[in-house]
Amino acid sequence: MGEDKKITKDLTIMEVLQKKPEAAQIFARFGMHCLGCLVASGETVEQAAMAHGLDADEIIKALNEA
């Protein structure tokens, strides 16, 4: 996978979706359904995971494997 496609915890939800549109399905699988909300544009994957009581590393792994 090229570095430009690598997903990290410090990317915002919107940045992830721009790099990898199919990430929406992965976020939904983890119960993160508010991808279109204003918070998603400024919230990092790590912050969103914490807000939802989820393991950010698990989400990142799933996103990078997709």
Query: Tokens at residue 57, please?
Result: 């590393």
pLDDT at res. 10? 95
pLDDT band at 32 (very low <50, low <70, confident <90, very high): confident
Number of domains making up the chain: 1
pLDDT at res. 7? 94
Task: CATH number of the domain at 11, please.
Answer: 1.10.3910.10
Residue ranges of alpha helices (H) inside 1-66 are 13-19, 23-29, 38-42, 45-51, 56-65
pLDDT at res. 4? 67
**Angle, CA of 66, 59 and 62, to the nearest 5°:** 20
Instruction: Write down the mean pLDDT value for the chain.
Output: 87
Q: Which domain holds residue 59?
A: 3-65
Cβ–Cβ under 8 Å, residues 52 and 46: no
